[in-house]
Amino acid sequence: MIHMDRRPVLDEFEKLVVRMNTPRVMIDNAGCVDATRIMIDSARNDGILLEAVQVLTDLNLSIKKGYVSSDGRWNMDVFHVTNLDGNKLTDDSIINCIEQSLGTIDSTRSKSIDGMTALELTGTDRVGLLSEVFAVLSDLSCDVVESKVWTHNGRIAALIHLKDCHSGSPIDSKKMDRIEARLRNVLKADNDIRSAKTSVSLAVTHTERRLHQMMFADRDYDRTPIMRTSGRYSPLVSVQNCAEKGYSVVNIQVKDRPKLLFDVVCTLTDMQYVVFHATINTTEFQAYLEFFIRHIDGTPISSEAEKQRVIMCLRAAIERRASEGVRLELFKPDKPGLLAEVTRTFRENAMNVTEAEISTATGMAQNIFYVTDAIGNPVESKVIDSVMQRIGSGHLRVKELPLMYHQKAENYDQNTSSLGGAVLVSLGSLFKRNLYHLGLIKSYY
């Protein structure tokens, strides 16, 4: 009797399946004058675009141009990227990290932080709220290891990773109950009895995606600001239907900034839309984004009300990270109560924190705060000087954004003052041109 061993055949088949489902990543530094070109070729996967953009965003890369196309069962994504200083990628470690990360994309992959308790907070924003939150945590002997805080339209969302100051372990359930009870009282104040929420997060979703989800669930897109937000700008968003091919087409024009594409793609994904084709273009002052989308079930947007909801949600997603205010960076040896002390100083000087990013490493606190005055205007320089003296000018400093994102206000004003009807014509032309290039219409002239 002859026994046939079929394992080698199965192994070759499995290898083929792996090759077909593993993205092919190509990085080209020669084909583009001012950017590094990254090409991702893969079997169709509705989550691969968000995952790819998330990888590039987490490496602090700027996506200057991009093309996304899904034909049949295949994806082709092309991104022209630079570092935050506007230069091509020359660091081999970054290039290797991109190749490894994009080459092993898994749409279910998420970030987790071991050994800590993740606390989620949402509620009505007000001056000094963050100071009160950190004061409660300090009083209950909680060490804030990492945290991100966003505010938008008078709402606040925070994701805080904690451990016990004494044991260095995650917070036990009994203590967590006390923490949540006290923080709910802080968040409720006198006017937020129904919408203030605290919860222990069991998910390990990417932090910034989770913040988007929290603010979306809080309906920040449908709320009226309670404070002046003069520094924020409203992106131009339009939604049209392409009946011929069954797509809805989203056009966005807005001032360019880091992580813009991630915020948009994240929101479309979480709203259960699939991006089939996309074009991303940026100039010195502007970003132009176009997406051909459908629902997960393959249908386009079906009503005017749904179009308006998409527009509102995308505007909110872009505005949440608009980084309003003066950027302050704190680099100081960590100690119990440091965050409570620093944010109390902000509060005592009538400074409102509009965004915060908290982290600790090797015993050092490395924190970023964006601050305005109590009604959303720029903080006077003498107030900032006073705060820096109290905290320590060697530890707290005013930090500007990278040069490529710093622009003179008068230039931007000139660039946007002639928008309006002209912008709608421009978006319509872009819409028709891309339909032509995608083969969806015969001519755009």
Q: CB under 8 Å, gap of 24 or more: what pairs does 22-27 form?
A: 22/103, 22/104, 23/48, 23/52, 23/102, 23/103, 23/105, 24/103, 25/98, 25/99, 25/102, 25/103, 27/89, 27/95, 27/98, 27/99
Determine the distance from the C-alpha atom of residue 36 to the mean position of all C-alpha atoms in its chain, rounded to a whole number. 22
pLDDT at 399 over 70: yes
Residues 105, 21 contacting (CB under 8 angstroms): no
Please give the structure tokens belonging to residue 341.
């002390």
Report which of 145, 80, 147 is spatially closest to residue 356, judged by C-alpha positions: 147
pLDDT at 2 over 80: no
For 144-176, what is each residue's pLDDT tens digit? 999 999 999 999 999 999 999 989 899 999 999
Mean per-residue pLDDT, 400-411? 45
Sorting pLDDT into bands at 50, 70 and 90, what band is 189? low
Least confident range of 109-118, 121-130, 255-264: 109-118
Q: Considering the chain, what is the average pLDDT of its residues?
A: 83
Distance CA 412, CA 427 (A): 19
Distance CA 406, CA 70 (A): 35
Please give the structure tokens belonging to residue 279.
């074009």
pLDDT number for residue 53:
95
- Residue 84: how many other CB atoms lie within 10 Å: 14
pLDDT at 7 over 60: no
Q: What is the identity of the amino acid at 193? A: I
pLDDT at 426 over 70: no
Q: Which residue has the tokens 């709402």?
A: 155
Fold match, 117-227+323-403 / 236-321+411-437: no
User: Structural domain boundaries of the chain?
Assistant: 20-103, 117-227+323-403, 236-321+411-437
Determine the distance from the C-alpha atom of residue 375 to the mean position of all C-alpha atoms in its chain, rounded to a whole number. 25
Sorting pLDDT into bands at 50, 70 and 90, what band is 417? very low
Mean per-residue pLDDT, 380-389? 93
Please give the structure tokens belonging to residue 133.
């939150």
Angle value at C-alpha 437, between 431 and 442, nearest 5 degrees: 90
Report which of 426, 401, 407, 414 is spatially closest to residue 62, judged by C-alpha positions: 401
Who has greater pLDDT, 39 or 402? 39
pLDDT at 8 over 80: no
Who has greater pLDDT, 41 or 201? 41
**Conformational region of residue 271, where left means phi above 0, alpha means psi within -120 to 50, and beta covers everything else:** alpha
pLDDT number for residue 114:
67
For 363-373, what is each residue's pLDDT tens digit? 899 999 999 99
**HSE, side-chain direction, 13 A CA sphere, residue 63:** 30
Percent of the residues in the chain that have a pLDDT greater than 90, as a whole number: 60
pLDDT number for residue 411:
46
| Dihedral sign, Cα of residue 266, residue 74, residue 106, residue 273 | positive
Report which of 176, 156, 196, 69 is spatially closest to residue 353, judged by C-alpha positions: 156
pLDDT number for residue 224:
73
> Both ends of the chain: CA-CA distance in Å?
73
Helix, strand, or coil (residue 73):
coil
pLDDT number for residue 197:
83
Architecture of domain 20-103: 2-Layer Sandwich (3.30)
Q: Which residue has the tokens 């925070």?
A: 158
Report which of 17, 34, 135 is spatially closest to residue 83, judged by C-alpha positions: 34
Residues 316, 221 contacting (CB under 8 angstroms): yes
Q: Which residue has the tokens 């995608």?
A: 438
Homologous superfamily of domain range 117-227+323-403: Biosynthetic Threonine Deaminase; Domain 3 (3.40.1020.10)
Residues 342, 391 contacting (CB under 8 angstroms): yes
Mean per-residue pLDDT, 305-311? 97
For 212-251, what is each residue's pLDDT tens digit? 999 999 999 998 765 555 445 679 999 999 888 899 999 9
Residues 372, 231 contacting (CB under 8 angstroms): yes
Homologous superfamily of domain range 236-321+411-437: ACT domain (3.30.70.260)
pLDDT at 1 over 80: no
Sorting pLDDT into bands at 50, 70 and 90, what band is 100? confident
Report which of 307, 265, 271 is spatially closest to residue 290, judged by C-alpha positions: 265
